[in-house]
């Protein structure tokens, strides 16, 4: 068995199928898609890619299957799905996900049609696997799908430790060794064995701390909002089509933006970012603003720009989704019965409240325009007592 | 400046005073007192000592003082206090703390009288420091005392990362680099600068996860209860006096127990431990049992032993204190004002509830006697629906 | 002081000048130049950039200056030089260095003229520094230049630990904490204090092990040779000029190669690499081949291609330079006198011989052509008993 | 399968036999025997024990056996031998090894007779294993014995990484993942597969660097010499017999020395160590002194003490064995043939010479007596130009 050295899991042994899949262009492309997209503008060491993350997810899936004593054909489909689970990501990963979804309706875990005619699909078939079944597992369907995409999936386990390792932030540290050992199936549901309420809580806590410190850092959010707007303009201008767009890698997008949307493209490349004009907690934001979709937020941004007397592209309105806590539905065995973590743990309520506290509406603009834009945004969005950019 | 290599903080530079203090027998004794006493029976790598922990606390104190721009005489007293803060610990650290307190009334951080006539005191005086002032800082008194013993002290910062490093458990990981950088004084109170609610929460979370996984692991609690009983018997029998006892190191106590309390002494040495006869959550324990002090618990153990027809030393009743959350009173700057973390963070409420959920009354006995002892304990203590030893 | 989180050195505090320098486009460009260029095709985690490396070199320089008690103006010039030392690197770092040198005569550490008119130079001047003096330090000139570019420079210290951290290979581990503490100046020469022969040897050993395992891994060498040829063709074709070329970042070059040299460009992007037709130790290679420069090697490749009946671009002849051991000239104090490590250490001789043993002539070609190319190369280059690609 | 958390290898899964063996008093005793005995007086974090090391060796043996595809009865004997390989160690491990050997003729790896009548032997038999066969493997006999005690044994692999981890020294870092993957049997000999000359060299280099920095640090050697002398006196005085002595754990010996050899015992406990009166390289030591055995060295010490006018116990003469390089006989496949590393690697010669350079004769005495003792030792031992204690 060939093995690849990984800085997180040490050697990752590849079976024959995995070796063929890894060589396919669809997987090689992930070498050029960074795992944390704009987070690297805050944490300069965070340059890891979806390629190595995919290997890590494959590795943890293989270990979990061993402990669950699942082998043969079922295990091979899960391992393949683990390796391929991210090939549907566009350039800059999550930052372009909504751009693609708005134009194609497709989420990144819907990889079925992406497999058509690819070397990846050919490799699967050559090794006797069913591409549709693999795609279903990637979507989280069925008993086995929970291992790859669910509350207790190995995707989450890998990215938390990997993102912590590469940012240098000590908060994503979970005990993957214990997690893969304590997985069980109960009535077709993936659960943690008895004695693991705290193991489950630790997943939730790791995510919560990483959210605040890394994933939702305001600098990364600003760059992400700039990237999303620039991508929209790139597509609006017809410079590239969405099918080409979603198959781009990071370097393709960076060059395309610089060529076709130079104002924002150059700024992103040089980390010459907009600043926070507004950074407002939930309590000070009208409900209709909290519920705005992208189109509404872009229209509001245009209105604010108009009121502030600046170019429409100088204002970005960033309305994050209300926090979801997938992990809070994790199933754990307590006193012999399977329970949701949110029922078994008092911590979940506290974490939910804490997440609401951290929610922020962002309005961003070039440094020189932030004062004007703040005033205009307060007016247009109906914000209570506008907060400046340096709030907690 | 001489430097000592530490596996957690890399090189720790010692000033001239620290070099002299480290050479004193009172500090060298800490080489023979393990940081986590009986936890090493669960986590075999956790053999680190209070000596290296003391060096770590000294190191973090020095870095915090640098960032706080405190130097000169005040800084020297704090650094000395950081280095010496644990010399009042008896053998096996926290496990004998209550034994000593019951007989002397002294807590381990009251080191004042311990300094009389020691080489440590001589070194302090020789370097122009006041031993009483150092002792006051160790007790947490005054503005500077908060750095060594308080909600944001460097003691806590060192032990969380050190205990995580040596057990191998990934949960104690806090960002000490950030914590020492973000400390401020506001009106004489040590606080975290604005933007650090989550930094403060991370301390709390790290402690909560370490509590469940490490500090209160049932195997460590059982061994600790055996050690406490054996120590009581050693002192009851007059084999050693309490003054000698508190100055013992781990090896002295281990040999003394084997010689004078051989039944328990040999069991501790060989990790031939009692088992859980009862492991009962808070809800199933009458309030008067929850509030029992050591004498009451020992009397109850004797009564249970009598009812179960076993030797009085075959039953241990272990009633942990209700959880305190020192860290929840951490002060953080939020919106320009100093606030207690418990007011600023919704998480604290959740954590408090979670800690209550984890509380367990333990009754321990030799493996062969656990069934009898469980029945007797249920009766004597008035427990509701007794739980066996394997509960969550 | 602002601080950046680094996964290797934890927090790196930036002084005001460093903050301004980091924001300049010349430094931001290094975010897009990977430290180990084609090594990431072997070690997928090795995606770290020259940006974070530059911060690390700055950090170690600052610590070394503290220990050497150098401050004020001299220290500020050294720290600036440490931060800027890599801005002269072209895309893919060392892999294009020779391409640029052949056309401009300039080595990457000659940054003087690159500073003209840049934001970097403006920032230096604004903070009262002399750009020419900074450039001289980067070239290794003067007493202080040795700290940034010499046998004991902080550049080497950073890259060895950083490359080990990111590849996951455990061999680059040196004791940077000790190295920066043990630096001394003796008669204007940077030396290691007495007691550090082995500290110096450890640098040499770390490099030797990293050379074999990482830096000269055959897959990285093949990809590097392909990249060099493709870059030559890009420049030969006039698609870009050398001034534009050297200012490119990795993503620019990757896109330019795909657009203008698509055969090699796509192969590099997709890791569809040539294979070894010849992998020959020093003993089996005629002296004139060992001494070939790039032009001669390219001519030989054309001749081999002709003899093998394949396209000229299907053959790459890769003649590595004879190994140099900069570190073997490290100065160490032994018995009170300053000595070169090669005089003080018997290990150096052994390492030199070991490096000769590891030297390999490589001839690479598409997989289908390797047999033909091997025969042709053996003939054309006059190789003794040609070795296949799998030899030690 | 039960698993133990280890700070080096993460979870170590124990089979049923291993669980029983671990519970036996002979294994539990290793919790009280530190891996690096007196090294912890230099590196305060190095408190790890032979217990956790034994678990690590068991773990690596199990992984190596998996890769070698050895299972069933043979594998079970190897795993048991790996776990038990250190039960023959006396207190303070290697520091008392020669004391025991001089009085019993037995080396620590001769555990056969130690098994008689033990719980360990009973457990082996109960699980269908042959204690004699296990003991033979521990002695390194047969094909399988090489895995546990030989040039490529898993003992060495574990202690290098474990000692590095716990001292904090970055030099013992070897690639255990690669080593266990690349083991092969060729004609009954354990070898490394082709392509691993450097892997083998890295083992040698790690040992060489750890020797100089850790294992042979002068402070550890001084404390070790004091401990050996004190142990000899303890046994000479008949306070304990050698059979009891060798079964002691560290705490037993520390207390016994303090009680029966109080001058040295208290010094060791308090790290109040002798200093170097002589620290002489090989070139300045007459051949007959280099070849001295312990008795001769102790007689010389007495003669020196007499000449210096000090107490005989105030002089220790420490003549280390000439360095052996077990690892240099490692077998590696090169060009299809099995070769010794010393034949395949030019580095071995250099390392041997480097080790000779590091060899030092030590003569130690209380600080106040070092000048007198140096003069007397120079005379008595016939040393050329005596060197003081601070030489390289």
CA distance D139 to C390: 37
For residue A178, list chain D residues with Cβ-Cβ distance below 8 A: 11
Q: Which residues of B touch A (CB under 8 A)?
A: 169-171, 173-175, 194-195, 197-198, 201-202, 205, 209, 212-213, 334-335, 345-351, 353-354, 356-358, 390-392
Closest in D171, D334, D357 to C173, CB measured: D171
Alpha helices in C216-369 (DSSP H): 218-236, 242-247, 250-260, 262-269, 287-290, 294-308, 341-344, 347-358
CA distance A279 to A317: 10
Mean pLDDT of A366-383: 97
How far is Cα of residue A61 from the mean position of the Cα atoms in its chain? 19
- Higher local confidence (pLDDT), A179 or D344: A179
CA distance A104 to C94: 42
Least trusted range by pLDDT, from B160-164, B298-302, C319-323, D301-305 = C319-323
Closest in B10, B11, B181 to C3, CB measured: B181
pLDDT at A233 over 70: yes
> From the candidates C167, C169, C170, which should be mutated to test the interface with D, based on the most D CB atoms within 10 A?
C170
> From the candidates A2, A4, A7, A11, which should be mutated to test the interface with D, based on the most D CB atoms within 10 A?
A11
Question: Which three-class secondary structure state does DSSP give residue A318?
Answer: strand
CA atoms A114, A116, A119, A120: torsion sign: positive
Confidence bin at A354 (pLDDT 50/70/90): confident
Contact A348 B350 (CB under 8 A): yes
What pLDDT score was predicted for residue B392?
A: 37
Domains recognised in chain D with CATH numbers: 2-168 (1.10.3210.10), 274-322+359-392 (3.30.70)
Residue of A nearest to B348 (CA): A350
- Higher local confidence (pLDDT), C270 or B322: C270
Print pLDDT tens along chain D (392 aa).
Answer: 789 999 999 999 999 999 999 999 999 999 999 999 999 999 999 999 999 999 999 999 999 999 999 999 999 999 999 999 999 999 998 889 999 999 999 888 888 888 889 999 999 999 999 999 999 999 999 999 999 999 899 999 999 999 999 999 998 789 999 999 999 999 999 999 999 999 999 998 998 899 999 999 999 999 999 999 999 999 999 999 999 999 999 999 999 999 999 999 999 999 999 999 999 999 999 999 999 999 999 999 999 999 999 999 999 999 998 777 777 889 999 989 999 998 888 888 888 888 888 899 999 999 999 999 999 999 999 998 755 544 43
Q: How many CB atoms lie within 10 A of CB C372?
A: 19
CA distance C142 to C32: 31
What pLDDT score was predicted for residue C327?
A: 75
Q: Which residues of C touch D (CB under 8 A)?
A: 169-171, 173-175, 194-195, 197-198, 201-202, 205, 209, 212-213, 334-335, 345-351, 353-354, 356-358, 390-392
Confidence bin at A389 (pLDDT 50/70/90): very low
What pLDDT score was predicted for residue A391?
A: 40
Question: Which three-class secondary structure state does DSSP give residue C99?
Answer: helix
The pLDDT tens digits of the residues spanning A287-328 come to: 999 999 999 999 999 999 999 999 999 999 999 987 777 778
The pLDDT tens digits of the residues spanning B185-201 come to: 999 999 999 999 999 99
**Which residues have a Cβ under 8 Å from the Cβ of B258 and sit 6 or more positions away?**
B265, B266, B269
Contact A354 B345 (CB under 8 A): yes
Confidence bin at A359 (pLDDT 50/70/90): very high
| ipTM at complex level | 0.94
CA distance D35 to D40: 9
The pLDDT tens digits of the residues spanning C302-332 come to: 999 999 999 999 999 999 987 777 778 899 9
Mean pLDDT of C148-173: 93
> From the candidates B6, B178, B180, which should be mutated to test the interface with C, based on the most C CB atoms within 10 A?
B178
What pLDDT score was predicted for residue B391?
A: 40
Residue B130 token pair: 């006041």
Distance from CA of D347 to the nearest CA of C (A): 4
φ, ψ of residue B228 to 5 degrees: the values are -65, -45
Q: Which residues of B touch C (CB under 8 A)?
A: 3, 5, 10-11, 177-178, 181
CA distance B328 to B150: 11
What pLDDT score was predicted for residue C384?
A: 86
First to last CA, chain C: 51
For residue C7, how many C-alpha atoms fall within 13 Å in the half-sphere facing its CB?
A: 33
**Which residues have a Cβ under 8 Å from the Cβ of D339 and sit 6 or more positions away?**
D331, D332, D333
β-bridge partners, C61: none
Mean pLDDT of A191-215: 92
Least trusted range by pLDDT, from C108-117, C193-202, D371-380 = C108-117
Confidence bin at B386 (pLDDT 50/70/90): low
What pLDDT score was predicted for residue D339?
A: 93
Q: What is the pTM of this model?
A: 0.95
């Amino acid at each position: 068995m060939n093995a690849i050295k990984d800085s997180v899991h040490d050697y990752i042994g590849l079976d024959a199928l995995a070796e063929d899949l890894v060589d396919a262009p669809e997987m090689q492309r992930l070498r050029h898609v960074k795992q944390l997209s704009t987070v690297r503008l805050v944490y300069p060491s965070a340059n890891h890619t979806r390629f190595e993350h995919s290997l890590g997810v494959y590795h943890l899936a293989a270990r979990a299957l061993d402990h669950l004593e699942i082998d043969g054909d079922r295990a091979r489909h899960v391992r393949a799905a683990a390796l391929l689970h991210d090939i549907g990501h566009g350039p800059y990963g999550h930052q372009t996900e909504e751009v693609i979804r708005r134009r194609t309706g497709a989420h990144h875990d819907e990889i079925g049609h992406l497999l058509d005619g690819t070397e990846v699909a050919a490799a699967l078939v050559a090794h006797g696997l069913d591409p549709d079944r693999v795609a279903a597992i990637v979507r989280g369907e069925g008993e086995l799908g929970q291992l790859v995409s669910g509350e207790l999936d190995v995707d989450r386990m890998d990215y938390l430790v990997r993102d912590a390792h590469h940012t240098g932030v000590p908060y994503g540290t979970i005990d993957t060794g214990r997690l893969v050992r304590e997985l069980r199936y109960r009535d077709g549901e993936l659960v943690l064995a008895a004695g693991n309420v705290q193991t489950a809580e630790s997943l939730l806590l790791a995510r919560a701390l990483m959210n605040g410190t890394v994933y939702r850092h305001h600098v990364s959010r600003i760059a992400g909002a700039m990237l999303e707007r620039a991508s929209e303009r790139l597509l609006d201008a017809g410079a590239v089509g969405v099918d080409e767009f979603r198959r781009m890698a990071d370097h393709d997008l960076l060059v395309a933006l610089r060529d076709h949307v130079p104002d924002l493209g150059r700024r992103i490349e040089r980390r010459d970012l907009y600043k926070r004009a507004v950074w407002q907690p939930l309590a000070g934001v009208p409900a209709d603003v909290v519920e705005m979709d992208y189109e509404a937020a872009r229209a509001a941004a245009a209105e604010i720009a108009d009121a502030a007397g600046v170019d429409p592209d100088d204002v970005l309105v960033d309305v994050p989704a209300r926090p979801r806590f997938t992990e809070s539905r994790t199933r754990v065995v307590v006193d012999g019965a399977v329970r949701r973590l949110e029922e078994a743990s008092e911590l979940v309520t506290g974490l939910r409240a804490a997440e609401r506290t951290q929610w922020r509406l962002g309005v961003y603009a070039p440094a020189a325009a932030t004062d004007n834009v703040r005033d205009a945004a307060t007016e247009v969005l109906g914000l209570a007592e506008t907060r400046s950019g340096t709030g907690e």
